[in-house]
Amino acid sequence: MKFKIYKKFKNARCGYIFLKNGIVKTPAFMPVGTYGFIKSISLNELKEIGSDMILNNALHMYLNCDIKMIESNGGLHNFMKWKKPIITDSGGFQIFSLKKIINIDNKKIIFYNPINGKIVSMDPKKSIYIQYILGSDISMVFDECIYYTLNYDKVYNSMKKSINWSLISKEYFNNINNSNYLFGILQGGVFQNLRDISIKENIKIDFDGYAIGGLSVGEPKEDMYRIIKNTCLQIPENKPRYLMGVGTPIDIINSVYFGIDLFDCVIPTRNARNGYLFTNNGIIRIRNVIYKNNINPLDINCLCYTCKNYSCSYLHYLDKRKESLGLRLNTIHNLYFYENLMSNIRYAIYKNKFENFIKNFYKKFNNINL
């Protein structure tokens, strides 16, 4: 994988990831299109917002549609009409979030399909094969992701299983794929020595990039930041660093400061559908009655389609009517806010002003209107 860092500010860095379907400017936020679409908006609108790469979930694509049908369409890019990079998550975390596991051993996970109740088996090779058929630019190894626990033995056994699955994933990936890339996933809960083991063993396998998994699953915030900071110091400088499933604006800024390059999270799209809208001065809950007669845009400094054309009053009205147009306009705004945030972060790093940017953002964003 070609990954070029062109500017650093302490541990934060700006760079480019060069992929078959385009270039990703880092640090980057990847909108989540779990089922092969971004809820409420078209991919053309997403392109206009400026997103470089999106995330799809291989497990959910497998459970919800015939992947051979996607293959006959020429892969995910052509199926979705998204000509820019795609990263696919393997589904390890999603299996545990479903809470329908029948059995798990060193070879596979057996669980109930949440759609039809049928028994499904998933293992590292099958996960990599599904991602190969989908044709994503970056695939993820199949891992075991467990929720926050202080049970050391449970975390240790899970971490060891994930390392073994990483080895299997990499070997199988190399046998079937020569054009795309594979990221390893680092586990170990909040135990630093287990994280260190996971990092060391995954680096030996030599992945194209490394993702930090198993965070934002219930652990205290200080533990999350501690793990991110210590992990970034150990991942090779020339490899992209991806923080999985963590995505509040404050968490993104702090994690970039520690050295993270890639993020994904459902927060901007899910919050949009629930009427929580991000602005440079905090969060607006558009369904609150104070916005009924507010003729101003959500954010006078925002250049998104929503803010350039509609008032808070209209967005409040759409939300009250449960109109789908409101979901679309809210989603456009929130994803634009995130893309603009990443652009501003990159610029601040480039200008050696990232610490000032962080201080100013904290001052403004802490003015939250819920």
Q: Annotated catalytic sites, by residue?
A: 89, 264
Q: Identify the bridge partners of residue 86 per DSSP, sorted by sequence position.
A: 54
d(CA 199, CA 232): 10
Angle at 25 between CA 139 and CA 214, to 5 degrees: 45
Q: Residue 96, Cα to own-chain centre: how many angstroms?
A: 17
- Cα-Cα-Cα-Cα dihedral of 21, 22, 23, 28, to 10°? -70
C-alpha span between 309 and 298 (Å, rounded)? 10
Q: What six digits make up the tokens of 251? A: 């968490």
Return the sign of the alpha-carbon dihedral for residues 151, 156, 162, 164: negative
* Closest C-alpha to 229, from 241, 219, 217: 241
Rounded to whole angstroms, the Cα distance separating 293 from 248 reads 29
Going by C-alpha positions, the residue among 70, 162, 175, 86 that lies closest to residue 124 is 162
**Residues 130, 124, 241, 156, CA torsion sign:** positive
Query: What per-residue string of b and e applies to 125-149 under the rule 16 or more CB within 10 Å gives b?
Result: bbbbbbbbbbbbbbbbbbbbbbebe
Helix (H, G, I), strand (E, B) or coil at 40: coil
